[in-house]
Amino acid sequence: QVQLVESGGGVVQPGRSLRLSCGASGFAFSDYGMHWVRRAPGKGLEWVAVVGSDGTTKYYSDSVKGRFTISRDISKNTLQLQMDSLRVEDTAVYYCAKEGGSSGSDRFHFDHWGQGTLVTVSS
Amino acid sequence: EIVLTQSPATLSLSPGERATLSCRASQSVNNYLAWYQQRPGQPPRLLIYGASNRATGIPARFSGSGSGTDFTLTISSLEPEDFAAYYCQHRNQWPPDGTFGQGTKLEI
C-alpha cells in the first residue's frame, strides 16, 4: 500500500536551515506530483510547495518563495524540502502529500499523506 | 488568487445529528473541490474529491455537493469519531498551488 514517511524535523534557530525528506513506497513515484503542506500550532492547513511528476515544474506559496526549495530524487523515491532562512512563523508540522492521480483533474486533490514531521524555529 | 471561506468556524452538535459544513470560493472552481478530515495528532484524510466523489473507504454518511462557488459537506448522522477539523481545498491546472479553507471545527 502507499506509504509516505517524513523525516528531518527538529528544533532550529531563526535564520538557520533544515532539510526535510519524505520516503515514498507502494506506488509509481515518478508518475505523480508531490506536495508539502504544513499546519502551524493552533492554525489550519497551509499549502507550501509542489513538484510535478516531471521533476522540473515547481511552485511555492508566497510565504516561502525564495527561501524553500522542493525537489525529488526518482532513484531513491524521495521528496525533499530544503528550508533556508527559517523564521519563527515557519514552526509547524510538515506533511508530504501525493496527488490523487497522474493525469487530468485527479491531480487536483491529495489522496495520501505522511504522518508529518515537526519543525520548531526558536531562539 | 482564489480564496476559500469555510463556515461556520465551529459547529457544536451531538452524535446522531446531521452536520452541514460550507465552503465558498471567491471565484468559480468548477467542481475541483476536495474535503479533508483531520483528527488531533493525525494527518489529514481525503473524504471527498471532485466536489461529490467519496474517496476509497469513506463511509456513506459523508457526502459532498455543489459546483461553481458554493459547496457543502454533509455528515448525515454523526458518529463519535467524526468530531474533528474539516478543510476544503482547491487546485487548478495553473498555478498548481493547493489552496485550503481556514477549516471548520466540529465539536461535541
For residue range A69-117, list pLDDT tens digits in order: 999 999 999 999 999 999 999 999 999 999 998 888 888 999 999 999 9
User: Strand, helix or coil at A84?
Assistant: coil
Pairing of strands B98-100, B85-91: antiparallel
* B36 beta partners: B46, B87
User: Mean pLDDT throughout A57-74?
Assistant: 97
Sequence-ordered list of residues with C-beta below 8 angstroms from that of A16, at least 6 positions apart, any chain: A86
| Residue linked to cell 492554525 | A43
Q: For A26-30, B42-46, B69-73, B91-95, which range has the lowest pLDDT when averaged over its residues?
A: B91-95
φ and ψ at B52, to 5 degrees?
Answer: -140, 5
- How many Cβ pairs within 8 Å bridge chains A and B? 72
Q: What are B71-87's pLDDT values in tens digits? A: 999 999 999 999 999 99
Which of A22, A53, A106, A110 would best serve as a mutation to test chain B binding (most B beta carbons within 10 A)? A110
Angle A1-B64-A38 (CA atoms, 0-180°, nearest 5)?
A: 55
Q: What pLDDT is attached to residue A103? A: 85
Distance from CA of B89 to the nearest CA of A (A): 8
Assess whether pLDDT exceeds 90 at residue A19: yes
* A35 beta partners: A50, A97
